[in-house]
Structure 1
């Protein structure tokens, strides 16, 4: 099974967030990413947010040196 990850450094943000999350499944990663987006970035949990977050999912583990966008 391949791990999945999402990395805030890939998304422009006002607070220059450097959090990266990883999990064994899309569902688990999505729930963690939504919780982070709501708590740290003041987004509202919605179908649109969930759909957008999924576009940033990658297979593997987050690289250490991802440049900020």
Structure 2
């Protein structure tokens, strides 16, 4: 039986917290920030958090490297 490999695309985009949640960088933060309102930019600060079954699927894809 072959070994399960870490999903490298997910490894670059997600980090699993100690409680099993998945942290990620929010979208629309890359460039052209001048036309975005201050409220919108403030909402994009920090990391987003994914919980529930989707976080479990992400954790399973990253499992060999954890």
Q: For the pair shown, which has the larger CA radius of gyration, 1 or 2?
A: 2
- TM-score normalized with structure 2 length: 0.30
- TM-score normalized with structure 1 length: 0.29
